[in-house]
């Protein structure tokens, strides 16, 4: 057991934190610029992620997630749970922000940091794969599929409200999910995965190591690119907010997640398989999403606070992962 946990943590350090640190150091030494990072991340999402998404949903075990024999009903239940958890965090983080006497721009950045977690391939889905295998990766991916629609609707609404910026039409926000390659292509992979799951035989076992290698490569390149553009300015100035954000991410959000699981299951909306509890525990204990910094940039919120919360919670996750591994394995 201890040996398995050590191997999993070493895998995370070598695949995620190692490239992140290497990218940061190379940039700081002036050996590597940042101009390449954004197109690199875009190509990763456009080229590598869609086939991984498709395979994950294709390989999803119906009994793990279906409700009343309906796979789509089970997927909808997981997405609904993810949205309810994120919505609850909006109100809780708003209350936590009060004692700090934040101005609107800083409060908006704090709320965005508390609400949106790194549940995708660069953290949540990756950890689900390492700790729970392909079954965990598939369920973690279903949970993560709620992220982009929630970001471009509720997340952007938070940004507009606290940033006092020009309004973006709601119709445009929704359409962008289906038209922008960064969200449309992974969504297409998700839909194709459902079609294959329903109409085709299960994928061959020979694809399992290919999937694992592809996820590791994507995570490593993504982490390296993020490291090159990482900013550590003014982290110390916001240490209290960062500490509060850690409490919200690693303690409050998992408790909210368990409450939402219990609530939806009492209404027969969510599957009762134990692996769902484990995947939810992982996904609700993840650090701040990089998209929280993007929201701060787009809507003129406090970028330094958003960046500080992202850095500190990402580093702090190193201490959380052994506990998570012990709880879910």
d(CA 59, CA 79): 18
- Minimal CA–CA distance to 127: which of 244, 283, 273? 283
Does residue 327 surpass a pLDDT of 90? yes
pLDDT, mean over the chain: 91
Six token digits for residue 309: 């919360």
| Domain range annotation of the chain | 2-328
Residue of 180 and 15 predicted with greater confidence: 15
User: Quick one: average pLDDT of 230-259?
Assistant: 93
The answer regarding whether domain 2-328 maps to CATH 1.20.1530.20 reads yes
d(CA 218, CA 48): 7
Question: Please, which pLDDT band fits residue 157 given cuts at 50, 70 and 90?
Answer: confident
**pLDDT for 269:** 94
Residue 26 near residue 34 (C-beta atoms within 8 A): no
**pLDDT for 168:** 60
Does residue 194 surpass a pLDDT of 80? yes
Say whether pTM exceeds 0.85: yes
């Amino acid at each position: 057991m201890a040996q398995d946990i050590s191997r999993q943590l070493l895998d995370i350090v070598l695949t995620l934190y190692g490239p992140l640190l290497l990218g940061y150091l190379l940039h700081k030494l002036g050996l590597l610029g940042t101009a390449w990072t954004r197109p690199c991340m875009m190509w990763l999402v456009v080229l590598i992620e869609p086939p991984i998404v498709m395979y994950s949903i294709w390989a999803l075990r119906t009994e793990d997630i279906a409700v009343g024999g309906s796979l789509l009903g089970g997927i909808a239940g997981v997405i609904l749970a993810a949205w309810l958890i994120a919505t609850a965090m909006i109100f809780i983080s708003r209350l936590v922000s009060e004692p700090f006497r934040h101005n609107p721009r800083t409060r908006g950045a704090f709320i965005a940091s508390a609400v949106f977690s790194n549940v995708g391939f660069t953290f949540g889905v990756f950890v689900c794969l390492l700790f729970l295998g392909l079954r965990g990766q598939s369920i973690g991916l279903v949970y993560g599929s709620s992220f982009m629609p929630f970001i471009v609707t509720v997340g952007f609404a938070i940004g507009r409200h606290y940033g006092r910026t020009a309004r973006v039409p709601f119709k445009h926000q929704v359409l962008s999910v289906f038209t922008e390659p960064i969200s449309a292509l992974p969504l297409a992979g998700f839909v194709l995965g459902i079609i294959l799951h329903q109409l085709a035989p299960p994928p061959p076992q020979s694809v399992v190591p290919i999937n694992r290698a592809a996820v590791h490569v994507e995570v490593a390149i993504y982490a390296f690119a993020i490291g090159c553009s990482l900013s550590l300015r003014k982290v110390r100035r916001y240490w209290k907010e960062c500490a509060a954000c850690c409490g919200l991410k690693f303690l409050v959000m998992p408790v909210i997640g368990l409450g939402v699981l219990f609530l939806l299951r009492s209404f027969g909306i969510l599957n009762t398989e134990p692996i769902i509890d484990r995947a939810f525990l992982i996904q609700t204990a993840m650090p701040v999403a990089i998209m929280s910094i993007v929201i701060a940039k787009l809507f003129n919120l406090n970028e330094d606070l958003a960046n500080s919360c992202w850095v500190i919670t990402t580093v702090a996750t190193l201490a959380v992962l052994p506990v998570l591994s012990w709880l879910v394995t």
